[in-house]
Structure formats: structure tokens, C-alpha cells
Structure 1
Amino acid sequence: MCLSLYDTQEGCDCFYMNHVALQLITMVRTIKDMAKGFFNGKLVNLVDEELPLIVDTLPQPFNEEIKGIAAVSGIPLGEITLFNIFYEVFTVCTSVVAEDFNEKLKPLLVNVNFQRGHKTVFKSTNLAGYVGILTGIRPGEFSLTVNERFSVDGGYVGILEWILGWRDGMWMGFLTRKVLENATSYEDAKNQLSQTELLAPAYFILGGNGTGQGCVITRTRINTLDIWELDMKLGRWYVLETNYDHWEKPMIFDDRRTPAMKCMNKATQANISLASIYDVLSTKPVLNKLTTYTSLMDVSAGTLESYIRDCPNPCTPW
């Protein structure tokens, strides 16, 4: 699937929406049902009353794209807006998300080539109806993925500030798309991801095509706490992120880091390949009931391969 950059009008993303409208409706309603459990249900009132008004305050072209998706799908504008800012809404909660939620995401997965002048600028694995980017690659330059970082100072604070008119921060998915569209190098992307104020905390996993180009950027809403980079002198030929700060001990109930590191070390740097990385990501509990898809990216070759995943029992819930 190809989408044109900067040639967009209201409804630009809609040509594929008819095929997934029912799945999108189900997914959006699930997110709205989850929202009922927060702040005594007041978050749902926010969705119905305030989020349609927020759309016009969002940066171009995202606001017009969201309006177009709502128009074609028939889903209320506030609910489509919630789907596009769900990262900021739910970073205050724990990482325990219902398995059913993930199953509803899978039918929405699409591979998209974003083009300018009929040439591919970047590729992504995306959710139909979501105008931001969670996973993407700019061929020959860098790859970028996002991991959720949970914090009591979650995205709801950023949303509240936005509603009140304090709009210095960027919505996470909009920033990643902006970086993939416009950053011209690994260093440029790293600077933008580490220096731009956000509405919610996040981990950015960035890869390049040169020696030592690879890092995990640990972000608060305002600052960068850490940039953990490849360092061959220290024997650090890979960096691995599993939804908690790498300098902290793994959580007892969610230690995906240790088995993943064992698999990487067993594979060895000399034998690493897309196939061996896929094997690592297919090892339980790295693969679990919350795994929606696995993406493999080769920056130099410009390839992006994504696979919808199922974890057969016995399988950990997260």
C-alpha cells in the first residue's frame, strides 16, 4: 500500500478504510470501554465532548487525516481521535492489557510505503486508522520503533496541558512520523527524538547503517534520561529494550530481558541475521500473549518484514 506525502486532502487515508471499517469500529469501541475504568468514567466524557474540539488544534496534516478517517468509517470524530492518541491516554496504566485487545489490533495491521514524487521516503507497519507511526524504516538511513514507557507522570498530564493551551510538546506518533519523513540521517533522527518535548514518556529504538549506529533513547515527557548506544569497545554489539529502564533490574513478573539476552549471546554477533533475530523474538516469554506483530528491518537493504504473531499455549500473558 502506498500513501503520498504532502498531496493529502481531507480523506487522504480513506481508500483502504472501507476494507477495515468494521474492525476499526470494534477496536475503537474496545479502547473506549477501557477508558471507562479511568477517573470514574470521566475520560469517556472527555472523548465525547472534548476530543472532537481537540482535532482542530492538532498539527497538519494529522488533523485533516483524522477527520477524513472519521468521515469514511462513520465512527464519531472523538472516538477516532482517541484511537490516534491512545498512547498518551494509557501510559499512566500498567502494562497488563487484555489479550482480547491485542486480537482486535491484528486485523488492522497494514504495511505502508510513504512516497513523495512517486519515490518511497519511508516504510512502516501501521494500524489502519492510525495516522502516527509505531514502527518504520527510512531506507539507507535509519530504522525506528517505539516501546511504551509507563510513568505516573503519564500522557494524561500532557493531554490536559494541551487542552489548556500549553502545546509545547509533540504527540508521540506524530513525532515519529515527522522524523521518518524529514530526518536525513541517523544523527538527525537521534537529535530530534532526544530533544523534542513530548506529551508522554517513551522509549525510542533507533538503528542506523553505520558502525556503532544503534541506541535506545529513554524519554520523560520533558527530558531525555539516557541514550544507551552500541559500543564495540565495551563489547556491546546490541542493545535490547523490554518496556522498562535498562539500568533497572528486570521485574520478577516480567523478565523478558534475560531470556532475550541469552538468545542474542548464543546467536553471537558473527551469525546475527534477520532469521536469527526472528528466532530470538519468537522465544517465550519474549513472544507472549500481548505480542501483536514482529518487525524485522535492514536499514542498508531498506527492507521491512512484519509478521502477525500468535503465541501457542503454554504461553505467558505478558
Structure 2
Amino acid sequence: MLDILIIGGGPIGIACGLAAQKAGLSFVIVEKGCLVNSLYNYPSTMTFFSTSEKLEIGGVPFVTNSYKPVRAEALEYYRRVATSNHLPVNLFEEVTGVKKEDGSFIITTAKASYRAKNVIISTGFYDIPVKLNIPGEDLPKVKHYYQDPNYYALQKVVVVGSSNSAIDVALETYRKGAEVTLVIRGADVGERVKYWIRPDIMNRIKEGSIKAYFKSNLKAIRQYEVDIETPEGLVTIPNDFVMAMTGYQPNFEFLKKIGIKLSEDRFVPEYNHTTMETNVAGLYLAGVVVGGMDTHLWFIENSRIHADMIIGDIVGKVEKL
């Protein structure tokens, strides 16, 4: 029987593995995709908001070429951390069930079954996009994920949202020759947009290079056009692609299925803020998943401490026996 089964092979899952290894506990990390799967699916051009030292885990230095690391550097860093420490990581193995039985957990996956005394869930929030729930959203031209701006060169692109991801998409596709229209629900660009990006998007909007509809919503999508509800009325414009950068959410159904209680408003899981243990004894949460729908509250830099909090609690319980 394992001391710990860690679900999720992202930076925080790896951090939990490093802390467990240091404490001499037996563990396995199970990841449904590739190593640091969410980071792998980030835009190829992404630059992190955080500086490299704030993304470090397990005390391993993160050396980068510039002040803020890019996606490729982060992928290489976390891969080297996992492999150099010989962490037991099982990739492309999705967890299908977690059941508590006789004081321990039975974890079933697409490939195997495990028994562990404790389970850590560090699954992030990038797997399920927040839908627009409007006609035409299921068309192939509608994208909830974004990889590279070159694909949209010379196309008419509508970007929905005002967060960092939406603004990055708008600026990058514009600079590759796309005709970009922003649809923003609020009265202004999002307050949390990176400080070095905000002046750029505001100037592009002001000069008319990027068209922006504020206090507006996308109402319908068709093959070659879209409808936008604006304060002045319904506007129909030609369109080739819709980039719905409306955010993502944790897999709440999975959390509920394994017995974790969620708040009714923002689906925040019930957990001890000192130990990260949920209402299910021996079942812990780490990383952004603890924030429910408020996915902007937790990042690598402020949730990496969850690893030591959790392992400290598990070791403390063992010492009391």
C-alpha cells in the first residue's frame, strides 16, 4: 500500500512528490496527459507573469534567459526536476474513481488500481472551458484554447473576454495580420491584465487597429458571421474564427463524485486552510483546484507551499500513532 497517491502531474503535483520523497513516504503521481499537461497546452508564445524564482519547486533553481520565463523554459525546468529526482510518474493514465474503504483509498485508473493511505488532488483547472452557451458555439471555428497566432493570419477573428489570455490572443493575432474584434462584457479591459500589456491593447483600441465592443456580449455564431449585442443594439459582422477566452474551471463533478463538499455559489471545496485536508479524512487538495470558480486566486507561486503543508500533516499523523 502506498502512503500517498497524487492525482495530477503539474508543477504542484510534482512539488507534492518532492516533499513526499524528502519525508521518506511511498507515493506515485498519476497524470491523465503528458508531464505538466496544462503548461504543455498553454500558447506557444506564452510568457509567465511570475519571475522564475517564484516558479521554483523543491528548492531547485530555475534559471532562465530573461526576467520572466517562457513556456518552453518552464516545460524543460519541470521535466528536469521530475526526472533528476526520479519521481514515480505514470503519464497518460486518467483516474476514474477514488473510493475510501477500511481507512484507506482505492484509486482506479484507465490502466490500473492502487491502494493508498492518503490521496492528494492537484488537477488544476485548465481541462474544462467555461462555455458561452449560445447558438453556434459547437461550430469548428470556435476555439476555447489557443496555441499559435500564425494560424489566424489574414482572418477575421472575434476574441471574447478581457483577461490576460483574451488580450494576448487579440494582440498576437492582430500582429500576424488578423482583423481582430474584441467583445468585452464589462466597461473596460480586465483589471488583472499584465501591466506591460495593458497600454499596448489600450493604444491599439484607441487607434482603431483592434475594434472593441464594451458592455457587450456575443449572442450567436454562424459559419461566416456573428451577432454581437451592444449598448447600441445588435451588430452583425463577418467572421472566420471565434476565440472564446472565457476561462476554465476544475472538474467539479469529479470532486463531488469522490465526496468533497462544494459551496453552492462559487463551488469552493471544503478544506482545512492549515493542512489542505478536505472533509474526507486523508483526502487533500493542492494548487488552483482549491479556489473553485475563483481560479485567479491561486498560481504556482502562491500554492507551491501546499506541498509542505500537506506532507507535514501526513507525517504528523504518522508520528502520533
**Interval containing the TM-score (normalised by the shorter chain):** under 0.3
Structure with the higher fraction of residues in strand conformation: 2
TM-score, normalised via structure 1 length: 0.24
Larger radius of gyration: 2
- Which has the higher relative contact order, 1 or 2, with Cα contacts under 8 A spaced 6 or more apart? 2
